[in-house]
Amino acid sequence: MIEKKTIESGTGAICYFKNAPIHGRPTIIFLHGLSANHTTWVNIMERLAEKGYNTIAADIRGHGESDKTKERSRYSLEIFSNDLELIAKNEKLEKFILVGYSFGGSIAIDYAAKHPAQVAGLVLVSANYVSPFAYKHLGFLTPIIYWKLRILAALLRWQRREHYYKYDHRSSSGYWHSTWIGLNTMPISVNFWMLALTLKFDFRKIIGNITSPTLIIRAKSDPILSEAEARDMARAMPKGEVIVSEHPSHFIASQSQEELAEIIEKF
């Protein structure tokens, strides 16, 4: 049985979902990717709950049932990390395992580097620690695309919707399908602000602060996370390890859930 909880952050309501607590057992917090929501993790949560784990999946602000205010200042790594800290405090968690997928993985890196004593273990699924262009020798495009996304986001703030489509990401069927549906689940301006933010990610100076055992999970043909970046990320952390999934694309969390649940369980 999964329960919905809502907390007020001061900059908007944040929703998260948890299974019935099991006293004395470890807690795993899951963070989804851009344009997704907590449903990415529901199947995995249920499987791990059966194995005795407490599980929590957040709707990152701008997504799912969390606040979708069209104010750019509310969408930054600092605020995303603060939201996660509020969830941990609300659940009275001193330590927990953190799992982040894609955009959520970058939030997880930021949080684990700044709160190393609180993170007992870290699992990064298809997550970058620098701009996705950095390992493709396309860094020169970063400022151009960044500002184009910022301008588009500003122009699209006029978009008005009373209701956003609720998409169950367990049924994700591919990149373009997920992207199209995702654009209907949140304000387009927010989507573009967050996409622009990924181009500014650079955790090279702080990733060494992560002291917990860390799994970096990469699909064998992931177009976003290269093999070289995954290996460099692992080497930059005291206890980093790379696992290569047989899944052929970036969408491990929604399309290879049995494999992912097994990896997390063994970890």
Residue 35, domain CATH:
3.40.50.1820
Our CA angle for 13, 95, 254, nearest 5°, is 60
What is the DSSP code (8-state) at residue 30? E
**pLDDT, mean of residues 3-28:** 90
pLDDT of 174 = 57
3-state secondary structure of 55: strand
Phi, psi of 145 (to 5 degrees): -70, -35
pLDDT in tens, 125-171: 989 999 887 777 776 777 888 888 888 888 777 766 555 556 655 55
**Hey, which of 19-28, 138-147, 235-244, 248-257 has the most confident mean pLDDT?**
235-244
Q: Is residue 257 over pLDDT 80? A: no
User: Residue 207 sits in which domain range?
Assistant: 2-266
pLDDT of 261 = 78
3-state secondary structure 203-249: CCCCHHHCCCCEEEEEECCCCCCCHHHHHHHHHHCCCEEEEEECCCC
Which of 80-89, 101-110, 145-154, 224-233 is predicted least confidently?
145-154
List the structure tokens of 185. Answer: 């689940």
pLDDT of 265 = 82
pTM score, whole prediction: 0.89
Number of domains making up the chain? 1
For β-strands 13-19 and 54-58, DSSP reports them as antiparallel
**C-alpha–C-alpha distance, residues 167 and 182, integer Å:** 8
- Of 233, 156, 210, which Cα lies nearest the Cα of 188? 156
Which of 64-78, 84-98, 136-150, 210-224 is predicted least confidently?
136-150
What is the DSSP code (8-state) at residue 134? G
Our CA angle for 74, 164, 199, nearest 5°, is 40
* Average pLDDT value for the chain: 86
**C-alpha–C-alpha distance, residues 194 and 199, integer Å:** 9
